[in-house]
Amino acid sequence: MFRIKEKSILHLNVNGEDREVVARPSDILLDTLRNQLALTGAKPGCENGDCGACTVIVDGWPIKSCLMLTAEAVGKKITTVEGLKNAPVQKAFIEKFAFQCGYCTSGFLMACHALAQKHPNPPDYVIDEWLQSNICRCTSYEEIGEAIRVVLSQKQ
């Protein structure tokens, strides 16, 4: 049985590297990534699962890191926007101007990257469902939709 009783050293696999963090069992992954590992790409927005600004990829799935305990992430592979490193989706966001202020961008990038990995050839309704998990206050939805479609069309 895996048990953490109090603040302790935990081992996380982030962006392909094994990292050590000191965390309380009740710490959320978003705070640990930002405050302990200086991975500030995942953004705090609502911290309630509504906005998607904090999205990271865990074992291939997009996850809102504000609703995941750091302890839960032990033994899993975490990818943050810092781990994308010139992924096609990043290029497409630049080409299509799919951001304005940029606050939501890392969350959208992670959702789009996970979609392209999991469903290289999704029907339109699947693209819409995945993108509805994130909110862009600057309303770049049109351009974000174009960017993910560019990436998906390249995959076919």
Partner 1 sequence: MIPFDFEYDRPGTVGEALTVFRQLDAEQKNPMFFGGGTEIISMARMGNVKTGAVVDLKAIPECRVFEYDKDRLLIGSALTLSDLVEAKRFPLLDHTAGRVADHTMQCKITFGGNLASTIIYRETVLPLLLADAVVTVATQGGLRDYKITQIFRERLQLPRGEFIVRASIEKRWLSAPYIHVKKTKNEKVDYPLLTVACLKADDKIRMAFSGLLPYPFRDLQWENLMNDKSLSFPERAEQISALAAPHLLNNLDGSAEFRKFVLNNTLIKVLQTLKGV
Which residues contribute to the site for partner 1 (CB under 8 A)?
1-6, 24-28, 31, 47-49, 52, 55, 61-64, 66-69, 71-72, 111, 129-130, 132-134
SS3 at position 127: helix
Q: How far is CA 31 from the centre of its chain?
A: 14
Residue 71, token pair as written in the block: 């302890």
Binding-site member from 8, 11, 35, 50 for ligand FES (CB under 6 A): 50
- Please count the CA atoms within 13 angstroms of the CA of 146 that sit on its side-chain side: 10
Q: Which does 22 bind (CB under 5 to 8 A by kind): partner 1, ligand FES, ligand FAD, none?
A: none
Q: Which does 102 bind (CB under 5 to 8 A by kind): ligand FAD, partner 1, ligand FES, none?
A: ligand FES
The rounded distance, in Å, linking the Cα atoms of 102 and 77 is 25
The rounded distance, in Å, linking the Cα atoms of 30 and 99 is 22
Query: Interface residues with ligand FAD (CB under 6 A)?
Result: 49-50
Query: Interface residues with ligand FES (CB under 6 A)?
Result: 44-47, 49-54, 64, 66, 99-105, 136-138, 140
